Amino acid sequence: MDRRSFLKTSAIGGSAVAASSLAAPAVAQGRTPMVIVSTWPRDFPGLGTSAQRLAVLIEEATDGAIAPEYYAAGERVGAFDVFDEVAAGNAQAFHAADYYWQGVHPSFSYVCSVPFGLTALEQNAFMHYMGGQELWDELADDYGLKGWLAGNTGCQPGGWFNREINSPEDLRGLRMRIPGIGGSMMSQLGVSVVSLPGGQIYENLVSGAIDATEWVGPWNDYFLNLHQAARYYYNPGAQEPGPALSLTMNKSWLTSLPSWQQRAIQACCHMENDRMMAEYNANNGRYLDMLIRDHGIQMREFNDEVFEAFGEASEAVFDEIRQHSDLANRMHEAFVTARAEVGRWLSISEQEFAFKRNRVLGID
């Protein structure tokens, strides 16, 4: 499907899409309905297709004992309404980026990604082996929720801009779509931050309602046609080095299931967490080449002065978060420990190897 057809037929293009069930109604004894609502447009590459794939996988892994019904953004509730829908028990699960719930509690951002934070490899280590999951469980329990990691899009570019950014002063007055603590970081630098779901980014950028945006990366940015709305593509970004996505469930519903079904859902989440990251790595390089070769996109890199300003601004935001609550402080401290311990190892292992390999082989 080409991009224009995709934009016309998907929720990204603003058209209503009728919700479709991935499973027949759960009428047979032992079949449990599972309504999954998401923040992504239906069939959107990577984000939407991964969530849909996870729903199918859960049905297959439970041999039909769980019957998922998947609803993309806007098909049942709005993209930013899925948290309340599941917490209230009106749906059983949502698939989302948890930094969307920063206004509920700032600790949710650490589940997804924060500026100068963790890469996908580091985030997995933090969540599985360094206390991240336990802190997330404590946080989510206050809202009757339970979540597992279920995807990652990898290190994200700095975004699309309609003017060059040569100093921190160039950021002042910009109207930029950027969520989570990354948005709070930009606010510290004088940026007017706008919160928009993916389906509304292109129209706001092309109309001039916003001056800049970040989204995901070359693969997804290509399908949003962001290269038609902005000239400069900055890389890397400081705001989301490894944004993890989650499948978060109503805890009462989840714990009512037999233990084997709970473990099956967890295993499906782990599988999709790995698969999504692999899919993004397989596609981002290819689509970046297309953006540069076929569309003349000008790649830019934030200079050291700008990146230093990002660092100072993010630390100011972290200071505020730590004062929010005891849980927020403990979440931040655990994150800092993981960043230091895992980061030191990766800097002399995978990162150093990739740098030297690419230098020797001329990969740039």
Q: Which residues are annotated as a binding site for substrate?
A: 156, 177, 214, 240
Residues 45, 49: Cα–Cα separation, whole Å: 6
Other Cβ atoms closer than 10 A to 336: 12
Residues 102, 104: Cα–Cα separation, whole Å: 5
- What is the DSSP annotation of 288-319? HHHHHHHH--EEE---HHHHHHHHHHHHHHHH
Residue numbering of the annotated binding site: 156, 177, 214-215, 240
For 73, left (φ over 0), alpha (ψ -120 to 50), or beta?
beta
* Inter-residue contact 251 to 29 (CB < 8 Å): no
Spatial CA neighbour of 194 closest among 207, 156, 206, 180: 180
Residue numbering of the annotated binding site for Na(+): 215
Axis-axis angle for helices 304-322, 326-348 (nearest 10)? 140
Spatial CA neighbour of 138 closest among 130, 147, 129, 128: 147
